[in-house]
Amino acid sequence: MEKIAVRLEAGATASAPALVLRPWRPADAAGLVELYRDDALRRWTSAAVDDAAGAARWVRDQQRGWEAGDRYAFAVIESQGAGGAGGLAGHVVLRNAAPGAGSAEVGYWTAAHARGRGVAPRALGALTDWAFTAFPSGELTRLELLHQVDNTASCRVAEKCRYALTTLLPAAPPEYPLAGHVHVRERDGGRTGPVR
């Protein structure tokens, strides 16, 4: 994919400001340490950010994905109106998006202070639209979203964004101690097969 400055937007709701999605920047690292103190965030994510050095490393990893052209990570920022930047509200990512692969995986997390206000569905919706627009139809036809079976909030986000539940994954300890769900969104928005 051509290296360009990407900025995505998701509209405001009655109870929450508009969102701006943009690639992670070094200055974002300062806010990450505080966000990762949230036990719920740590429970559902595989990376742990414990200090400033870890946060800087995490941001550099996100930037390397853009450079490699296989992982497109966005900071989700709540807008302050009139173009002003607001606070860090979350993260969305398109990963394993190699040219010709046909499918890629999406993932996200939401900061504790931003949960319950539609941040995750709006950010995932913007990422989904961008992915299917930015990649030609021959290169990307399907997006997959995976989460642990007990993460009911992620299940609701997937359903709101028209990602159909297609597969139940068995637990695979120690890395994946619990069963999982695979949700799929096809480029044409069509329904996928039944859960199996």
pLDDT tens-digit profile of 44-80? 877 779 899 999 999 999 999 999 999 999 999 998 7
Say if 164 falls within a structural domain. no
Residue 169 lies in a domain: no
The residue among 108, 131, 103 whose CA lies nearest residue 1 is 131
Specify if 159 maps to a domain.
no
- Crossing angle (nearest 10°) for helices 119-134 and 152-160: 50
* Total domains in the fold of the chain: 1
Lookup result for tokens 């719920």? 40
Stretch 151-156: mean pLDDT? 94
Range of the domain at 109: 8-138
Query: Does residue 154 belong to any structural domain of this protein?
Result: no
In which element (H, E) is residue 149 found?
none
Domain contains 86: yes
Cα-flanking dihedrals φ and ψ of residue 74, to 5°? -125, 135
Q: CA nearest 44: which of 140, 105, 110, 119?
A: 110
| CATH code for position 17 | 3.40.630.30
The pair of structure tokens assigned to 73 is 């990570």
Q: Determine, yes or no, domain membership for 91.
A: yes
For 8-33, write each residue's pLDDT tens digit.
Answer: 999 998 888 999 999 999 999 999 99
First to last CA, the chain: 34
- CA–CA separation, 124 and 183 (whole Å): 13
pLDDT of residue 1: 45
**181 is a domain residue:** no
Considering the domain boundaries, does residue 18 fall inside one? yes
**pTM for this predicted structure:** 0.88
